[in-house]
Amino acid sequence: MTADQNELAQTQADLVQARTVLRNVALQAYERAGDSADLVLFSGSASDAAVSRTYESVVTGSESDAIDRFARQEADVVQQESVVNAQRAAAAANYGTLSHEYSDLQAEASNEQAMLNQVQQQQAQLAALEAQQAVAGAAARASRQGPPSTVDVGLLTGPSGGSMAQNLAGIRQCESGDNYQDNTGNGYYGAYQFALSTWQGLGFSGLPSDAPPPLQDQAATQLVEQDGWSQWPVCAAMLGLD
């Protein structure tokens, strides 16, 4: 029980005890006085006189007034107890509301953390994908054929729209000056300046510059059919090849 409830219970007990004492004193005094109209109850202290006055109030019919006062006091105590109980109920309701709101906040924080984790995971995946694309792009650029030789653009054959043979002749002229044995030590070989990885990827062995011209032409044709003219970006642009 709370302190307020303890205090209310004690007050109620005091009221009951006071009413009991009052009745007992009045009855005892009445029995000692008998039928005498002139009652002399106590001749001692002031407290005896107070009890005597209380007795006189009781025997003259004012006992009901005293009881009414006690009843009103008791009703006040009950009302105060009701107020305290109402306050406790309101406090409990407020606690329930706050507890519910706290649970909602925890759930919201958990959802936000989950979303943050998902975003971070997506960012990591995106970064990994970008890294893979960068590596793939670098590999693609590395697999392209070597830089063109220093040639006179006017000597180039195989303009855009020409036959495959004409266009390949233009690429050879641009890349190596039409030299099938070209091997300058720059890592690219033959008339089409093949990278060794490209040459081997097409299924050929050895050095491209050591292969006979028909085999180099065959390899170049395969490369065009596979990837288009983008393997020779500079020369293809100069020749107007898409």
The domain limits of the chain are 3-112, 153-239
Q: Does the pLDDT at position 17 exceed 90?
A: no
List pLDDT tens digits, range 141-156. Answer: 444 565 555 444 444 4
CA dihedral 33, 39, 44, 49 (to 10 degrees): 120
pLDDT at 232: 94
pTM (2 decimals)?
A: 0.40
Alpha helices for the chain (secondary structure H): 3-33, 46-57, 63-143, 164-176, 196-201, 213-227, 233-239
Of 115, 84, 87, which is closest to residue 7 (Cα–Cα)? 84
- CA pair distance 36, 44, nearest whole angstrom: 20
pLDDT class of 29 with cuts at 50, 70, 90? low
Per the document, the length of the chain is: 242
* CATH code of the region 153-239: 1.10.530.10
pLDDT at 36: 46
pLDDT at 119: 83
Of 186, 181, 239, which is closest to residue 215 (Cα–Cα)? 181
pLDDT at 32: 67
Q: Does the pLDDT at position 57 exceed 70?
A: no
pLDDT at 62: 52
Mean pLDDT of all residues belonging to the chain = 76
Give Cβ neighbours of residue 26 (< 8 Å, ≥ 6 apart): 54, 55, 58, 59, 63
> What is the percent of the chain with per-residue pLDDT over 90, rounded to a whole number?
29
